[in-house]
Amino acid sequence: MDPIVDLDFIDSRMPEEAAACDTTHITQETQTGKSRKLYIESYGCAMNFSDSEIVSSIMFENGFDTTSDIAQADLVFLNTCSIREKAEQTVRNRLGQINYFKKKKPEMMVGVLGCMAERLKKSLLEEEKIVDLVVGPDAYRDLPNLINEVDGGQKAVNVLLSREETYADINPIRLNSNGVSAFISIMRGCDNMCSFCVVPFTRGRERSRDAHSIVREAEALVAQGYKEVTLLGQNVDSYKWASEDGTESVNFAQLLEKVALVSPDLRVRFSTSHPKDITDEVLYTMKKYDNICKYIHLPAQSGNTRVLELMNRTYDREWYINRVDAIRAILGDDCGISSDMIAGFCTETEEEHQDTLSLMDYVQYDYSYMFFYSERPGTLAARKLEDDIPLEVKKRRLDEIITKQRETSLNRNKRDVGKVHKVLVENFSKKSKEQLSGRNDQNKVVIFDKKHYKKGDYVNVLVHDCSVGTLFGQAID
C-alpha cells in the first residue's frame, strides 16, 4: 500500500523511505531441516510485527522452519490489524488470494492471528471458509495444540485474553531483520478506553513485562551485533513492573535508563507515548543519555478539548500543549515530535477542525500519521456516538491536515540542512545501491553516498538538501 494515496491512513513522509509506514511484513527464510514450513504475513502496527517474531519462535520449537514462498508453506498465518475497516478488508482480500494456493495444496493450513481474530472470533471461520484456525494475541502458546486439532480434521479457535501473558520467556526469531534494529515488547494491552479504538477489546488489559527480561533481551541483541532497539507498548509511559515479593519496582523512566546502560553504542527508541502519562522524569532521562534518541511519538488525535473529551482521551488541549512545552524546554527545539490526527470525528465542527490545524501550527510536528474517522464495531463511539460527518467532509478536512503537515515537515527538515547528523546505517537506499539509508536521532531518514561505509555503522552526515520526508547529505570523516 502506498500510504500517500490511501485516504484511510496517511503518513506525511514520502513513502519510498518511510519505513514506519510498512503495512505488511513477510516471512524470511530459515532452513534448519524442520519437517514443515511456516509462511507468515504481518499487518498493521509494530506490535504485530513483534508478535510475529514470537509466533515464529514458538512454531520453530514445534517443527516449523519459515519460508518466504507461500507456495512452499504447510502453514500460512496472517497476523492482522483491526484498527480500521480497510485493514480488515485488506486481510479478507488476501485470504481470497491465498485460496488459489490452497486449492493447489489442499493440506495447507491457514490461520488468522491478532486483533481481527480477537474481534471476530468464531464468526471468522464461518465468514471465511478457507480459515482453519483463529488465534488471539494472548493465545500464541496454544498454537501447537490448535495445529494438532486442525491436523485431526477440526477447526480450531483460541481467543482467550489474559491478564498475565507477556511472552517474556520467549526468544523472538527476528523476521525481516536488517541485523541493525530490533523491537522489544515491554508491555501488552491497554487500559485507556479511547472511544474510537478497538485495542482494549482485542489486546486486553495492560500488563508490564519483567524489567530484567527486557534488559536481558537488549543485552542479547547487542551480543548479536544489533545497534538499536525500540521499546514497544500501546502506552509505554504507563509501564510499571513490580517483583512478586514487592522489593523492586520499575517505572518507564527507570526502564529507559536500564536499557540505555546496556551499551553506549546501543540506540534506544520507544513507542508509543500517551500525552496523559509522559512525565518530566522520562524527559530528563532522555536528556541524560546520549544514546536515548530525542524523538517522541505523541498522538494528539485532535486539537479541540470538546472532541478530545468525546474521544475519552483524558487530557485537554492545554494539557497537551503543556507536555509539548516541557519537551521543548527539557530536550530543546530539535527533539523530533510526531503525532496521530483523526479528521471528522463524531460531531466535529469546522471550528473544532480549525483547532486541530492551529495545534499543528503550535507544535510543528516533524511528521504525522493522519486518518479520517472510521467507525469500528464494538467501540464506545460506535455504541454511543453518531458517525455524522459526511465522507466528503472527512476527506476534505483530512486533505487540509495533510497539506499543513507536509508544509511543516518540509520546514522542519529545512532546519536540518547545513547541520551534521549522526546516522545509523540500516540499509541501502531503495533507489540506489550506491547510496545508504539510515535514521538520525530524531527518527528522520537520511540518504548519502555509500563510499566505504556499511550497514550498522554510525556515520556523521552533513545534510545539504531535503524533501518532505527525507534528508540528503554527504558523509564526513
Residues 260-304: pLDDT tens digits? 999 999 999 999 999 999 999 999 999 999 999 999 999 999 999
Q: Is 293 annotated as a binding residue?
A: no
Residues 307-321: pLDDT tens digits? 999 999 999 999 999
CA distance 1 to 346: 27
In a domain, 5, yes or no: no
Same domain, 447 and 380: no
- Spell out the long-range contacts of 425-432 with Cβ–Cβ below 8 A and sequence spacing 24 or more: 425/180, 425/453, 425/454, 425/455, 425/456, 425/457, 425/458, 425/459, 426/19, 426/178, 426/180, 426/181, 426/455, 427/178, 427/180, 427/455, 429/17, 430/16, 430/17, 431/16
In a domain, 109, yes or no: yes
In a domain, 165, yes or no: no
Residue 475, amino acid: A
In a domain, 74, yes or no: yes
In a domain, 341, yes or no: yes
Question: How does residue 17 score in pLDDT terms, banded at 50, 70 and 90?
Answer: very low
pLDDT at position 280, please?
98
Same domain, 113 and 78: yes
pLDDT at position 175, please?
79
pLDDT for residue 1 is more than 90: no
pLDDT at position 24, please?
61
Residues 227-240: pLDDT tens digits? 999 999 999 999 99
pLDDT at position 191, please?
93
Question: How does residue 11 score in pLDDT terms, banded at 50, 70 and 90?
Answer: low
State the DSSP string of 146-214.
HHHHHHTT--EEE----SS---TT-----TT--SSEEEEE-EE------TT--HHHHH-S-EEPPHHHH
User: Which of helix, strand or coil describes residue 55?
Assistant: helix
Domain boundary residue, one of 369, 393, 414: 414
Residues 422-470: pLDDT tens digits? 999 999 999 999 999 999 999 999 999 999 999 999 999 999 999 999 9
Question: How does residue 29 score in pLDDT terms, banded at 50, 70 and 90?
Answer: confident
Same domain, 284 and 336: yes
Percent of the chain with pLDDT over 90: 86
Q: What is the dihedral of CA 170, 256, 81, 145, to 10 degrees?
A: 10
- Burial zone of 155 (CB within 10 Å; 0-12 exposed, 13-18 middle, 19+ buried): middle
Q: How many whole angstroms from its chain centre is CA 249?
A: 26
Q: Is 194 annotated as a binding residue?
A: yes
Same domain, 64 and 205: no
More confidently predicted of 10 and 140: 140
Same domain, 369 and 222: yes
CA distance 221 to 215: 10
Looking at the DSSP assignment, which residues form a beta bridge with residue 421? 461
Say how many Å lie between the first and final Cα of the chain, rounded. 38
Same domain, 400 and 447: no
pLDDT at position 35, please?
85
Q: Is 197 annotated as a binding residue?
A: yes
Contact (CB, 8 A) for 196 and 307? no
DSSP H/E element including 462: strand 458-466
Which CATH number does the domain housing residue 345 bear? Answer: 3.80.30.20
Residue position matching grid coordinates 488541549: 317
Number of domains observed in the structure of the chain: 3
State the DSSP string of 391-406.
HHHHHHHHHHHHHHHH
Q: How many Cα atoms occupy the beta-carbon half-sphere of 314 within 13 Å?
A: 9
Residue 33, amino acid: G
pLDDT for residue 352 is more than 80: yes
Q: Is 115 annotated as a binding residue?
A: yes
Residues 122-178: pLDDT tens digits? 999 999 999 999 999 999 999 999 999 999 999 999 999 998 999 999 999 887 778
Q: Measured on CA atoms in the order 386, 390, 396, 402, is the torsion positive or negative? A: positive
Q: Is 21 annotated as a binding residue?
A: no
pLDDT at position 197, please?
93
pLDDT at position 173, please?
87
Residues 365-383: pLDDT tens digits? 999 999 999 999 989 999 9
Same domain, 392 and 455: no
Looking at the DSSP assignment, which residues form a beta bridge with residue 228? 181, 267
Same domain, 386 and 459: no
In a domain, 171, yes or no: no
pLDDT for residue 21 is more than 80: no
CA distance 45 to 56: 17
Contact (CB, 8 A) for 26 and 41? yes
Please, what is the average pLDDT of the chain?
92
Same domain, 126 and 199: no
Which CATH number does the domain housing residue 123 bear? Answer: 3.40.50.12160
Domain boundary residue, one of 126, 158, 190: 158
CA distance 303 to 206: 26
State the DSSP string of 111-156.
EEEEHHHHHHTTHHHHH-TT--EEE-TT-GGGHHHHHHHHHTT--E
Q: Which three cell numbers stand for residue 33?
A: 531441516
pLDDT for residue 475 is more than 80: yes
Adjacency order of strands within the sheet including 267-271: 181-185, 228-232, 267-271
Q: Is 335 annotated as a binding residue?
A: no
Average pLDDT over residues 188-196: 94
In a domain, 164, yes or no: no
Which CATH number does the domain housing residue 468 bear? Answer: 2.40.50.140
Q: Measured between alpha carbons, how far is residue 79 from residues 4, 114, 133, 147 in Å? A: 23, 5, 12, 16
pLDDT at position 20, please?
34
Same domain, 25 and 126: yes
Question: How does residue 34 score in pLDDT terms, banded at 50, 70 and 90?
Answer: confident
pLDDT at position 25, please?
63
Q: Measured between alpha carbons, how far is residue 261 from residues 180, 216, 219, 254, 400 in Å? A: 18, 12, 10, 11, 43
Range of the domain at 392: 181-414
Contact (CB, 8 A) for 413 and 444? yes
Domain boundary residue, one of 362, 381, 414: 414
Same domain, 238 and 109: no
More confidently predicted of 85 and 253: 253
Tally of residues, the chain = 477
pLDDT at position 86, please?
86
Q: Measured on CA atoms in the order 216, 222, 223, 225, is the torsion positive or negative? A: positive
pLDDT for residue 2 is more than 60: no
In a domain, 259, yes or no: yes
Same domain, 27 and 141: yes
Q: How many Cα atoms occupy the beta-carbon half-sphere of 25 within 13 Å?
A: 26
